[in-house]
Amino acid sequence: MRAEEILEKLAESIAGCDPERARSVAEEALKANVSSSDAIFNGLVKGMAVVGEKYGKGEYFLAELIMAGEAMHEALNILMPMLDAEKGGFAAKGRVVIGTVEGDIHDIGKSLVAGFLRAAGYEVHDLGVDVSVQQFVEKTREVDADIAALSALLSTTVTNMTKVIEALKKAGLRDRVKVIIGGAPCDGDFARKIGADGYGGNAYEAVRIADELMKSSWSWRRKRK
């Protein structure tokens, strides 16, 4: 099969939310010597765009997003190990620390965003759920994260986002890391109010906002080196 055909099939497997197919086509891609970065950015990411479009139009729903996320996960498991080995190497778009804030164990949205960011080319450190303020700060420092992504489902836990932002300030990290938030009780106003850099209403918006922040933050990212 030609490389273009494989890339198209990869995109289709994601757009069709089919994890098994995504895995087998990713294996085919490796066999056919399609470069992993090509497979990801000209295959998977294109498929994701289709899923996003359908979600936006109300043709796809949470179920499809989760399955498309699973499909990307399957394909990435096969493609990622090859990335480093490839000639010229592969630079992640940015480093993200993500988690659901303390006192909250809701992880569907958070895991979707983590999966989508990963598939969009970010290095993602998923701290899971019920993540303490300290864990966020430490991981942000440890991996020198570009973005800290905070999730909450409850009106009672969303306030912990403020605590994370305060702690990042106190630790002297706030000017080196952008903070994005998401979850049912948040919106753009709330994000502004607590001093976050962005709010995403769904996994696609999260990726778009991360991309924008990474672009706009080019100068500060260089400065900090």
Summarize as ranges the residues that interact with another protein (CB under 8 A): 17-19, 55, 58-64, 66-67, 70, 102-105, 108, 130, 154-157, 159, 184-185, 201-202
Is there a contact between 94 and 122 (Cβ–Cβ < 8 Å)?
A: yes
Between β-strands 95-100 and 147-151, what pairing exists: parallel, antiparallel or unpaired? parallel
Q: Which residues are CB-neighbours of 172 under 8 A, at least 6 positions away?
A: none
With respect to another protein, which residue has the nearer C-beta, 111 or 217? Answer: 111
Q: Which is nearer to another protein, 3 or 184 (CB)?
A: 184
CB of 62 to another protein, least distance (A): 5
Smaller CB separation from another protein, 64 or 211? 64
Taking the least distance from each CB to another protein, the nearer of 58 and 88 is: 58
> What would the two tokens of residue 146 be?
């570009």
CA distance 50 to 15: 6
Minimum distance, C-beta of residue 63 to another protein, in the bound complex (Å): 4
Nearest to residue 161, comparing CAs of 150, 172, 153? 150
CB-nearer residue toward another protein: 9 or 174: 9
Closest separation between CB of residue 118 and another protein, Å? 16
Residue 153 CB, nearest approach to another protein (Å):
9
Q: Quick one: 7 or 22, whose CB is closer to another protein?
A: 22
Helix runs in the chain, H state only: 3-15, 19-31, 36-39, 45-56, 62-85, 108-119, 133-143, 160-170, 188-194, 203-216, 218-223
Beta bridge partners of 198: 180
Smallest gap from Cβ 79 to another protein, in A, equals 21
- Residue from 118, 49, 46 nearest 77 by CA: 118
Rounded-to-integer distance, Cα 153 and Cα 166, Å: 20
Q: How far is the CB of 93 from another protein (least distance, A)?
A: 26
